[in-house]
Structure 1
Amino acid sequence: MSGDFLSKNLSISAWKTNTTVLNGSYYIDPSVCIIKIQAMILLSIIISLVGMGLNAIVLWFLCIRMHMNAFTVYILNLAIADFLYLCSQFVICLLFAIYIFYSVDIDIPLFFFVVPVFAYISGLSILSTISIERCLSVIWPIWYRCKRSRHTSAITCFALWVMSLLLGLLEGKACGLLFNSFDFYWCETFDVITNVWSIVLFGVLCGSSLTLLVRIFCSSQRIPLTRLYVTIALTVLVFLIFGLPFGIYWILYQSISNFHYVKICDFYHEILFLSCVNSCTNPIIYFLVGSIRHRRFRRKTLKLLLQRAMQDTPEEEQGGDKSFSEHPEELETVQSFS
């Protein structure tokens, strides 16, 4: 995906079109399409604001209030990616909302079209890495615990951020972010590289998640279900439902030459809204999973709920120790990601 992809789909001229005709006979009332686009943009603004607040809460607890372990490092970086994505989409949608209601034509810097690309690829890469690590820890637990370095999570996240940033900047450079002239050969080359990387990540994410679920529920040597597995499963499921359509649309846009000729009533704005929902939902998953079998949901327990959502100990092991059940904070403090 490049700035060209986003700018064409969000361009104001696209929803100034008076009619949409497909195959010379199919007509759509443009007013209905404009209302739909306006609704999607406003909903995206609201969801982005809510998502930025929720991800900021997660970042606050992970950075300041909680002890970091291998899994929380990934969650921290995933929250950063979601926060960046929502910030960029909020700015873009806000500028278009200003145009809708006040007719103020504002040129959106191409920078704000590259940031969501960078954040989306980073989030997908980190989520795929989380799924791969849990799959490896289940299939080869002894090898995983003995060979894995304590700094693996931080190093992996740093490498993924650098790779995602490189892909975003290369596409931006090829498609006019750093230079006014377009080099279509390099633009297409970087599009292909980014598409291949994204498809690989999609495949790895689906394959490792499916393997993990099969091992948990269908294997002869079934492993106990923990809150950590529930958190990962729900996060992946939400991404496949709400986040994956954005990546598919982007790949189709770059791969099919006539794909951008779909006019005002295409489904891009709904996909944009769904991608914002995806980035907003992850913090909700953490707190909901942490609140399972936990009757008190108050502000002072948010840290505890976040810790509970990342615990890797079966519920049965907790119930057998009354001292921990009386003081759940002590139990959550000692939990770590193997």
Structure 2
Amino acid sequence: MSNGSLGSWSTSNASWEDIGAENGTDLLTPQDGFDHGSLPYRIANILISVSILLISIFGLMGNGTVIWFLGFCMKRNPFTTFILHLAAADLGTLICLIFFAIVSLLWSFSLLPWYVYNLFMSFGTIPLLFMYNTGQYLLIAISMDRCVSVVFPLWHRCHRPPYFSTLVCVSIWIISFLFTAIDIFTPYTDFYQFLMNAILCLPLMTLSTMVLFIKVYFRSQKWKKGKALTAILLALLVFLFLAFPFTCILLICFFTPVTDYNVQSVAISVGLLCSCLNSSINPLIYFLIGRNKRAQSRESMKVILQRLFKEEENCREKREVPVQTQM
């Protein structure tokens, strides 16, 4: 994996040799890596790193709760299988971001040797890219599955293979792992991954979101608007606004010659912060959409998840009974 594949949160985005060669100087020392002019960028990186650390902690709690209840306390269905794997990918992404934030803070306060920092930023991006891409592909699979369920509800209910969700999730994990493994040995593979994300994944995600929104809120007013579908729509919208800026920023960094490593560092930090928010907000969406606003007492997360993810199945069953009766 190339050293500058994901970038870093400081001017060591490129190796010290590259920076020295570009400036016509010898190998830079750690003290030479920052000057007085880069102090505002260092402060910005520190603030962003602290924000990522705090948000990730709450995201870990939320996704961990979802994994616990969906994986061990509730009966799984094809829909919750997708949600369970998505929560696991988000959890892995947040764990990687926590390590990135800690290492960045240690480096910013000169508590970590520069070669350790450079080594971590070079190889620590591997699990982050793995989890990031896996979560993205899983959300695309969820959006396509929901599109089929609202456009062809009878086929989705009666002719869908029983273990389809599990097979799709396992396949996504394997494909994402293979892409990441190839990236270790082949330079610029991650560039093509992000290019594929922008050219293929973004249009698919946008199209799925538009189909779901139009089908449910405009053309299907007689259908009951399930809370689960509303939660997925919100998750898709959040993903489009938060996750893809990370991909776009990295592609811009690949295409644009680096003139200021400080600016590039802050830009990548903002992209990572958006990804952190995206991986942390889904449990909050489930809670806000699934809770009973009229309930006097405080409901447990298990009750909220049960109501949220079972309501969609119940709504589909009610819609399909008349169709099956006519047949």
The TM-score normalised by the length of structure 1 is 0.79
Instruction: For 1:117, give the aligned amino acid.
Output: L
Paired position in structure 2 for 1:148: 160
Q: Is the 8 A contact 1:2 1:114 kept in 2?
A: no
TM-superposed deviation, 1:74:
0.5
Q: Is the 8 A contact 1:122 1:160 kept in 2?
A: yes
| Mapped partners of 1:66, 1:231: distance in 2 | 19
Q: Is the 8 A contact 1:3 1:114 kept in 2?
A: no
| Mapped partners of 1:127, 1:195: distance in 2 | 18
Residues 1:9 and 2:8 aligned together: yes
> Cα 1:103–1:55, aligned 2, differ >3 Å: closer, same or farther?
same
Residues 1:264 and 2:281 aligned together: no
Paired position in structure 1 for 2:216: 216
| Mapped partners of 2:281, 2:199: distance in 1 | 23
SS in structure 2 of the partner of residue 149 of structure 1: coil
Residues 1:157 and 2:169 aligned together: yes
Paired position in structure 2 for 1:44: 52
Q: Is the 8 A contact 2:60 2:94 kept in 1?
A: yes
Q: Is the 8 A contact 2:148 2:156 kept in 1?
A: yes
Paired position in structure 1 for 2:285: 285
TM-superposed deviation, 1:2:
6.6
For structure 2, list consecutive stretches of 5 or more residues without a partner in the other structure: 14-31, 319-327
> Cα 1:273–1:104, aligned 2, differ >3 Å: closer, same or farther?
same
| Mapped partners of 2:111, 2:11: distance in 1 | 11
Residues 1:59 and 2:67 aligned together: yes
> Cα 1:275–1:220, aligned 2, differ >3 Å: closer, same or farther?
closer
| Mapped partners of 2:9, 2:171: distance in 1 | 31
Q: Is the 8 A contact 2:56 2:280 kept in 1?
A: yes
Of the structure 1 ranges 37-46 and 191-200, higher mean CA displacement relative to structure 2 is found in: 191-200
Residue number among 94, 99, 103 corresponding to 1:91 in the alignment? 99
Paired position in structure 2 for 1:183: none
| Mapped partners of 1:221, 1:54: distance in 2 | 33
| Mapped partners of 2:180, 2:190: distance in 1 | 9
TM-superposed deviation, 1:268:
1.8
Paired position in structure 2 for 1:120: 132
Q: Is the 8 A contact 1:287 1:305 kept in 2?
A: yes
Please show how residues 225-264 of structure 1 align to structure 2 within 5 Å. 225-254=225-254, 256-258=255-257, 260-264=258-262
Paired position in structure 2 for 1:18: 35
Instruction: For 2:35, give the aligned amino acid.
Output: N
TM-superposed deviation, 1:99:
2.0
| Mapped partners of 1:2, 1:93: distance in 2 | 21
SS in structure 2 of the partner of residue 196 of structure 1: helix
Q: Is the 8 A contact 2:10 2:261 kept in 1?
A: no
The TM-score normalised by the length of structure 2 is 0.81
Q: Is the 8 A contact 2:5 2:188 kept in 1?
A: no
Paired position in structure 1 for 2:41: 33
* Number of residues of Structure 1 aligned to a counterpart in Structure 2: 290
Per-residue CA deviations over 1:117-152 (Å, capped at 9, x if unaligned) read 111111111111111111111112222222201100
| Mapped partners of 2:3, 2:78: distance in 1 | 34
TM-superposed deviation, 1:198:
5.0
| Mapped partners of 1:115, 1:59: distance in 2 | 20
Q: Is the 8 A contact 1:3 1:172 kept in 2?
A: no
TM-superposed deviation, 1:3:
5.7
> Cα 1:3–1:309, aligned 2, differ >3 Å: closer, same or farther?
farther
